[in-house]
């Protein structure tokens, strides 16, 4: 998650959408007063500006965010949901800045999530077992506020280069993804999702990610 006071934007980071690569690209444009949260430790070497200014001022400390988040409530964190970012920054800043995130076809994203989340599992569960456990398959809670899209702009993973070029023009920045994609070497099965997912796997994804399908028009083809 990045908040640039210098360029007046907020990037809300989602899972398995090239979010870390985008965060690395955005970090290069951050000034000393901007908020940059930590990323996966092996990817920190890919960016020049690392974690900074992650403490939330006392006057803006979050309330009622659950037991885990209560322990983190004094800091901005990676993958921090939009509703919490808005609470920490204040409504005025949130409304003034350009807020954006990135989304991906849930079928394809679920497979990517599986390979990343089970990378250290031995034995590795089946894809259906993983999906049935419901381990954070949906990105909707990250950028939704009151069950509606809560950011100004949603980039699409499927057209990321074009969308980033348009974002660059809008922010008057040259946003270039790193040549080495972060977390890009964990997916062993590169077949199209139509060849990987069976009826049961597809049904789980469609149920858990119903809001993404409804809002962004993703489909099977």
The pLDDT of residue 70 is 64
Pairing between β-strand 98-103 and β-strand 153-156 as defined by DSSP bridges: parallel
The pLDDT of residue 136 is 82
Domain ranges of the chain: 2-104+142-185, 105-138+191-221
The pLDDT of residue 66 is 63
- Residue with the two structure tokens 């950028």: 143
pLDDT digits (tens, 9 = 90+) for 113-122: 999 999 999 9
Burial of 206 (0-12, 13-18, 19+ CB in 10 A): middle
CA-nearest of 190, 136, 156 to 18 is 156
The pLDDT of residue 184 is 60
In this structure, the chain runs to a length of: 221
CA-nearest of 144, 108, 29, 88 to 154 is 144
The stretches in the chain having pLDDT less than 70 are 63-67, 69-72, 180-185
- C-beta of residue 73 within 8 angstroms of C-beta of residue 46: no
- Predicted TM-score of the model (pTM): 0.93
């Amino acid at each position: 998650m990045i908040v640039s006071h210098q360029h007046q934007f907020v990037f809300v980071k989602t899972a398995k959408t090239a979010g870390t690569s985008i965060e690395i690209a955005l970090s290069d444009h951050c000034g000393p007063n901007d908020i940059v949260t930590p990323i996966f430790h092996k990817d920190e070497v890919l960016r020049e500006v690392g974690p900074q200014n992650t403490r939330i001022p006392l006057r803006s400390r979050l309330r009622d965010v659950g037991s885990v988040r209560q322990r983190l409530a004094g800091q901005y964190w990676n993958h921090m949901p939009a509703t919490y970012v808005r609470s920490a920054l204040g409504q005025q800043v949130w409304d003034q800045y350009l807020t954006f995130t990135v989304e991906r076809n849930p079928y394809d994203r679920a497979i990517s999530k599986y390979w990343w989340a089970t990378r250290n599992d031995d034995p590795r569960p089946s894809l259906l077992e993983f999906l049935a456990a419901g381990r954070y398959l949906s990105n909707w809670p990250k950028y939704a506020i009151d069950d509606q899209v809560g950011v100004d702009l949603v980039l699409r993973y499927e057209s990321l280069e074009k969308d980033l070029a348009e974002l660059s023009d809008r922010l008057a920045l040259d946003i270039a993804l790193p040549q080495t994609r972060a977390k890009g070497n964990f997916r062993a099965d590169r077949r199209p999702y139509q060849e990987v997912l069976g009826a049961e796997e597809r049904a789980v994804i469609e149920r858990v990610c119903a809001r993404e399908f409804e809002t962004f028009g993703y489909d099977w083809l």
